[in-house]
Amino acid sequence: MADPVLTFTERGIYCPAGDFFIDPWRPVDKALITHGHADHARWGHKSYLATETAAPVMRYRLGDIALDTIRFGEVRQIGGASVSFHPAGHIPGSAQIRIEVGGEVWVVSGDYKTEPDKLSEPFEPIRCHAFISECTFGLPVFKWRPEAEVAAEINAWWASNAAEGITSVLGSYSLGKAQRVLSLVDPEIGPILTHGAVEATNAILREQGLPLPATTQVSADANPKNMTGPLVIAPPSALGTPWMRRFGPSSQAFASGWMALRGVRRRRAMDRGFVVSDHADWDGLLAAIKETGAEKLFVTHGYTDIFARWLKSEGYDAHVLKTEFGSEDADEVTEEEPA
């Protein structure tokens, strides 16, 4: 019997026909990377292949790497495999990777979000025989409201803080979430300031032509305390640190899919939590899976056991795939920010 299109090794997801790995977590010779988040794009591979839009951020985060780029939809022959990258709608440049060997098609989703936003290339469903899907938010309790409603909530919180003369500090992961939040806020309310890690990523994405409102990095000269009603976008790791003491009185909020869970909201001791996620919610996951037409499913990230069990009850050939990808915790809460 021929090798399966992909096999699962201790280094990561491997394609025997093309002799490459996808988002491997140990050093390999050839790594195809879905997107620049730290649990997917790791340091130490001999060569990398990623989309043109994902590349600048990867270079910034990983330094001098041997990185080749590919356009969305472009088909490349790697050994005995035909490979193409397709939008995953997770963050700008994020891709699903389609691999075809001898007429059999497998797709690795990476992280994905089915609801379109103003910055990421919209998610594109790909027909396949086997689909390797993340399921970070694979429980029915996760159901995102329309983006415009969450935007209105964030803007109302900011405007009321501004009216009280206090600074609004919104914790958002520096790659993806911070820019998404920037695409939602109304710059008419007041000045927008950023933490250095966020500003560095903003600069890279602006250079690529993404429409972001004007932002200023917090500094001695740009102190929120001396401004009227500022909003500060900072990575979660900076919240509650001495860096924030210079701001004077502030209201702290956090933007994450996890804010849908009351317990998480309480534990993080935030004044407010906004449910903004870069991942598919329950309905999004099910719709995406259905649209692939895949019979064989492998699930990664998050509620894998429960999600796989549910898929089996629906008649799918579903398996849990043990990976070293982070949960959204790695993406958004605990990851070390670049200096």
Judged by the rule CB under 5 A, the positions of this chain that interact with Zn ion are 37, 39, 111, 325, 331
110: left (phi over 0), alpha (psi -120 to 50) or beta: left
Q: Nearest distance from residue 269's CB to Zn ion, in Å?
A: 25
Q: How far apart are CA 62 and CA 206, in angstroms?
A: 19
Q: Nearest distance from residue 111's CB to Zn ion, in Å?
A: 4
Q: Nearest distance from residue 25's CB to Zn ion, in Å?
A: 11
Tokens of 78: 């790697």
Q: Nearest distance from residue 331's CB to Zn ion, in Å?
A: 5
Backbone phi, psi, residue 81, to 5°: -115, 140
Q: How far apart are CA 109 and CA 142, in angstroms?
A: 19
In this complex, which beta carbon is closest to Zn ion, that of residue 111 or of residue 335?
111
In this complex, which beta carbon is closest to Zn ion, that of residue 39 or of residue 199?
39
In this complex, which beta carbon is closest to Zn ion, that of residue 210 or of residue 231?
210
Q: Nearest distance from residue 141's CB to Zn ion, in Å?
A: 20
In this complex, which beta carbon is closest to Zn ion, that of residue 39 or of residue 100?
39
Q: Which residues contact 329 (CB under 8 A, 6 or more apart)?
A: none
Tallying the residues shown for the chain, one arrives at 339
Q: Nearest distance from residue 11's CB to Zn ion, in Å?
A: 17
Q: How many CA atoms lie within 13 A of 41 on its CB side?
A: 28
Q: How far apart are CA 260 and CA 268, in angstroms?
A: 13
In this complex, which beta carbon is closest to Zn ion, that of residue 33 or of residue 185?
33
261 CA to centre of own chain: 19
Tokens of 232: 């500060």
In this complex, which beta carbon is closest to Zn ion, that of residue 182 or of residue 244?
182
